[in-house]
Structure 1
Amino acid sequence: MSYMPPDLGALYLRHRDAMHKVAASVLREAGRASEADDAVHDAIVSIMASPPENVRNWEAFLVTAAKRKALDRIRSAEVRHAGPEFVEASHDRADDSDLGEDVADAIDQQERAGHAWDCLSVLDERHRKAVWETAALGRPRSEVATELSVTPARVSQMTTRSLALLREEMRRREEGINE
């Protein structure tokens, strides 16, 4: 007696929901649940190309095939998104930027910022708040004015005056250091 393959169309119709659920759950973990139908389709096409013999549980077989095709999709996506092979020769060259100069600039900026912070002591609390909130933090004058119970124009005056005092104090301290 010759082997008669089962009706794969009927088996698909009977077990497609289970196949889809398993494929979707596998692909969902990779954020690709929308590809579950494609994984099920790939599984059925693969089985149709070479139907297996002696399958005892068709539901388990079809669900496993769909799960494996879903995993294949995830793995192939990882390969595609991993990028080209790392070629050391193209990356093994000196960087054109001068790291020492960048570090020196950063240190200078920190020193100037610390110096400016020390100079804030010449301002009273209201002027310090006005200049810090508007110049350093970039807050709108109207908000700062509300907090200080003054007009926005007054905040501008306070900021201008405070910045002038800070410049003068910084200049005075720098001259004292350089002498």
Structure 2
Amino acid sequence: MDSAALDRFEAGRGRLASLAYRLLGSAADAEDAVQDAFLRWQAADREHIVVPEAWLTKVVTNLCLDRLRSAQVRHERAAGAWLPEPLLEGDPMLGPADTFEQRESVSLAVLTLMERLAPVERAAYVLREAFSYPHAEIAGILDITESASQQHVHRARRRVAAERRGGGEVDPASARRIVEEFLTAAVSGRTERLVEMLTADATAVSDGAGLARRLLRYTSRERIASFVRAGFKATPAKRRLAGGTPAMHIALVNGVPAVLAVVGDRVVGAVAFGVGDGKVVSLYGIAAGDRLTRLNETWRQREPDAPPVISAW
């Protein structure tokens, strides 16, 4: 491969990775898809590729669709033990974030909701909402009609809107203050205050620190408050499991504030918060090590924006 062809691929690598991440919800799988696309680009008759960006977009999209349709992935995700991989703010894999739709499409809440869409619906939704592709181009990428593209996007929008909790965007500073207060209440054992800070339809999902075979799900304020209180209660056993005494930082993860439990330079757990109308709408707790690999890589490359909220938990 000549340097011009290599440079052309590398120039679009970030966009391809962010597309694959939105489609797959996994940074590792997204990187694999992009690498497979590179191998196909390397082997292709590039002189006959009129628009390389469109060709690569179609290749990556279809590689992701093949994976979403595979029996192994369907089994893994149907088993109820899968959550999207969280990414730290500033990670280039998060991709475009100029519009509300682009930012929302990479939130853990929407990535989780998209698991309920058919693969082609998910692809059409991502291409339209996150990358602003016209329906004519989406039809070409997915080998469907333009009318079918419109229908897929319409159905996907309707399903996401029907299950979305909370309103529109929240000021980041306000959201951070709410999460700080929620964390303070959790650590101090103020369960009643936790209940007050949750919306009536709040939800919480946790991977059980990677120890549970299925995700833990809670849908009542009282149960969520009890779960959060128990989860944030410091014990010697939890410190042993974490490999030390964590400090609690607040950072942005997939566009929302999150509490990160950090031991040394290693993030051992993340709880991402959805906030709306001054209250907590949703919580996503992730502590399985293989789901925090890329977040950890990004965390080690930068200094925290602020000192920990709790220096020794």
Structure with higher Rg: it is 1
The answer, yes or no, to whether TM exceeds 0.5 is: no
The two structures have a TM-score, normalised by structure 2, of: 0.21
Structure (1 or 2) with the greater strand fraction: 2
Structure (1 or 2) with the greater helix fraction: 1
